């Protein structure tokens, strides 16, 4: 692809991709210890968390979003860690959704605190939620996450459906020999529930991910395993689908999404920036290069123009692709910690 120079204040990168989506990791803290997110030493309680002073304050986050929206960002997703464990998060969301020009605020959560927060989230202006759930078997959920939490998560999903959240997406990271025997069980949910179940390829992020080539189950294989349930009917792509290829099972009321960062990467249409919980602006999930926005914000001479320049720098640095296959072949991976990057 031939690169072109974007305008001075353009949210178009060097490869003609327009950036309209900002993901904010509010905290690296989490009430779970999922095996693909933390290492064995971290799962046993040795996880090094950021100090309070190392996190961006809510005021700093709001300032960044206001500048980003003025530049053309229209969608923000709140991630973590687990965003609902951060104190004051609902007040922050109320302020966030009042920003003029920001027309889409979403949340990704592990679901543990969702049932008790859903009403306040809906009232604050959040109506779209993704829930991470990697098994429908309570004992396996406890094994994967380190916490006996299936009942709480399922109650959260039922609550947001009852309150009219839409879409409600359930994210399943498929891992061979760990939970891939539940692919059909997850797909069957869409026959009777208005969910989008999203099957996500396991990604090699950081040394704690425990990723191997064998553990990763590709989307083509996942789709082939689902075929006995019936024909997969392609769905017309809508904005809320993101990078997912979306299908519906014949007779189903929900849908199936397939996110394939490894087997069918979507780098050519990636429209997002990430702000990590440590204040790093990251233009690619699977590349370690970041702009230190926390340092920018805490410089006494920082004004909106400086923040704008930092955002533009991150966009200029956005690589054409993650080149993950080549990096894995050379023995590399992404060294960031998922709990800080925000997925």
pLDDT tens for the 343 residues of the chain, in order: 333 444 455 799 999 999 999 999 999 999 998 877 776 555 544 456 788 899 999 999 999 999 999 999 999 999 999 999 999 999 999 999 999 999 999 999 999 999 999 999 999 999 999 999 999 999 999 999 999 999 999 999 999 999 999 999 999 999 999 999 999 999 999 999 999 999 999 887 765 456 677 788 999 999 999 999 999 999 998 877 778 999 999 999 999 999 998 888 888 889 999 999 999 999 998 888 899 999 999 999 999 999 999 999 999 999 998 766 665 555 555 555 555 566 5
- Is residue 154 within 8 A of residue 192, CB to CB? The reply is no
Distance CA 131, CA 20 (A): 23
**Which positions ≥6 away from 300 have C-beta within 8 Å?**
none
Angle between helices 89-96 and 58-71 (to 10 degrees): 20
Element (H or E) spanning 290, and its range? strand 290-292
**Which positions ≥6 away from 59 have C-beta within 8 Å?**
none
Q: What is the CATH number of domain 21-341?
A: 3.20.20.70
Output the pLDDT for position 215: 86
């Amino acid at each position: 692809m031939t690169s072109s120079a974007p305008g001075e204040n353009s949210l178009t990168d060097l490869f003609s991709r327009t950036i309209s989506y900002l993901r904010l990791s509010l905290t690296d803290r989490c009430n779970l210890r999922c095996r693909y997110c933390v290492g064995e030493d971290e799962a046993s309680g040795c996880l090094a968390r950021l100090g309070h002073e190392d996190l961006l304050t809510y005021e700093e986050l709001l300032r960044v979003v206001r500048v980003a929206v003025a530049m053309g960002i229209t969608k923000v997703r709140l991630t973590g860690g687990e965003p609902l464990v951060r104190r004051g998060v609902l007040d922050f969301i109320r302020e966030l959704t009042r920003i003029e020009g920001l027309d889409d605020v979403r949340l990704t959560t592990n679901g543990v605190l969702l049932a008790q927060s859903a009403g306040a989230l809906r009232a604050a202006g959040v109506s779209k939620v993704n829930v991470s759930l990697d098994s429908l078997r309570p004992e396996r959920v406890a094994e994967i996450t380190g916490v006996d939490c299936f009942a709480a998560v399922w109650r959260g999903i039922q609550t947001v459906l009852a309150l009219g959240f839409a879409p409600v997406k359930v994210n399943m990271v498929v891992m061979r020999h760990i939970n891939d025997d539940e692919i059909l069980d997850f797909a069957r949910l869409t026959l009777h529930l208005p969910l989008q179940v999203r099957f996500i390829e396991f990604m090699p992020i950081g040394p704690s991910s425990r990723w191997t080539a064998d553990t990763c189950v590709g989307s083509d294989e996942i789709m082939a395993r689902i075929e006995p349930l019936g024909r997969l009917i392609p769905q017309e792509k809508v904005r809320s689908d993101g990078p997912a290829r979306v299908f519906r099972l014949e007779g189903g009321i929900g849908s199936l999404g397939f996110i394939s960062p490894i087997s069918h990467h979507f780098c050519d249409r990636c429209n997002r920036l990430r702000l990590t919980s440590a204040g790093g602006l990251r233009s690619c999930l699977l590349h370690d290069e970041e702009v230190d926005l926390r340092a920018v914000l805490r410089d006494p001479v920082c004004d909106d123009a400086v923040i704008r320049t930092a955002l533009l720098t991150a966009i200029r640095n956005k690589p054409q692709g993650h080149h993950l296959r080549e990096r894995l072949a050379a023995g590399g991976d992404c060294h960031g910690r998922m709990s800080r990057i925000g997925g």
